Amino acid sequence: MATRRTRALRRLAAPLLFGAAVLGATAPAQAAGAGSGAGPGQGGKATAEIVTTAEHQGNVAALTFDDGPNPVDTPRLLQVLRENRVKAVFCLWGEYVERHPDVVRQIAAAGHTLCNHTMHHDNLAGWTPDQAFTEEEVRADLEATSALIREVVPGARIPYFRAPYGAWGEHSPQVAADLGMQPLGWAVTIEDWETQDADVLAQRLEERIRANPGGVVLLHDGPVVYDEAGQPQSFRAGTVEAVARVVPELKAEGWRFTKPARRG
Ligand SMILES: [Zn+2]
């Protein structure tokens, strides 16, 4: 098992490695048709297919936010979404659920959809093959993360799972499906791990949503960065500002923001 130290190092390396992982994740055949996945999970029926599309067609997009809850940026994002009457998916990092449960309750109370993003944001496929999680390790992580979310929000529906870095590995799509969670990929990113310049991100968001109607959009409201006193700092203000600028503009043109598709 990874030590806390190696986890911290991996986390620091994440933005650099992310781009490479995206290429693998967008290969749609990776896990398609791997099984019906109608398992005993609490999220309903799901399959192992990694979905990248919104549940409707046309000028729609499904907004998804990863790596929170973040006690600084997520509440501001929730305000922006509320003002625009838009619902989104939040892919939650278990360690931050544990540290910031009130923010998870705010997300759920606002009617947004929850998504399991593992407990420690480990690379399930392994940075090297010998680090790859076994099926049992994947299942244990996903079950623990969902259980933690439901400790914080009793009875919470968690209909999606997204693998950190889009590194699904051999097992996670089917394990997620068995637990009632549809594997959630994406069709659009704005690479907000590269920059938090709101002008750059707003331009990317608008252009890329327009170029990919019907797509799942990957954005980030986390992770959480703490100062020396242990206080959480704003880390995704640029992403939130981009959403605040672009969503009302697209809505005014008739675009709708829906949930990602589910299979099964
Ligand atoms: Zn992530």
User: Is 66 known to be catalytic?
Assistant: yes
Q: How many domains does the chain have?
A: 1
Element (H, E) at 251: helix 237-252
* Inside any domain, residue 25: no
Q: What is the pTM of this model?
A: 0.85
Question: How high is the pLDDT of residue 165?
Answer: 97
Domain-located, residue 158? yes
H runs (alpha helix) in 110-197: 135-152, 172-178
Ligand 1 is a single-atom ion; what residues have CB below 5 A from it?
66-67, 164
Examine residue 27 and state whether it is found in any structural domain, yes or no: no
Domain that holds residue 168: 49-257
Bridge pairing between strands 232-233 and 225-226: antiparallel
What pLDDT was estimated at residue 263? Answer: 83
Residue 30 counted as domain residue: no
37 is a domain residue: no
Closest residue by Cα to residue 114 from 81, 157, 72, 154: 157
Q: What is the pLDDT along the chain (264 residues), one digit of tens a residue?
A: 444 444 444 444 344 334 333 333 333 333 333 333 333 445 568 999 999 999 999 999 999 999 999 999 999 999 999 999 999 999 999 999 999 999 999 999 999 999 999 999 999 999 999 999 999 999 999 999 999 999 999 999 999 999 999 999 999 999 999 999 999 999 999 999 999 999 999 999 999 999 999 999 999 999 999 999 999 999 999 999 999 999 999 999 999 999 999 887
14 assigned to some structural domain: no
The C-alpha atoms of residue 220 and residue 149 are separated, in whole angstroms, by 19
CATH number for position 154: 3.20.20.370
The reported pLDDT for the residue numbered 84 is 98
In a domain, 122, yes or no: yes
Ligand 1 centre from 250 Cα, in Å? 26
Residue of 66, 67, 73, 178 marked catalytic: 66
Tell me if 155 is assigned to some domain. yes
- Of 121, 122, 220, 221, the active-site residue reads 220
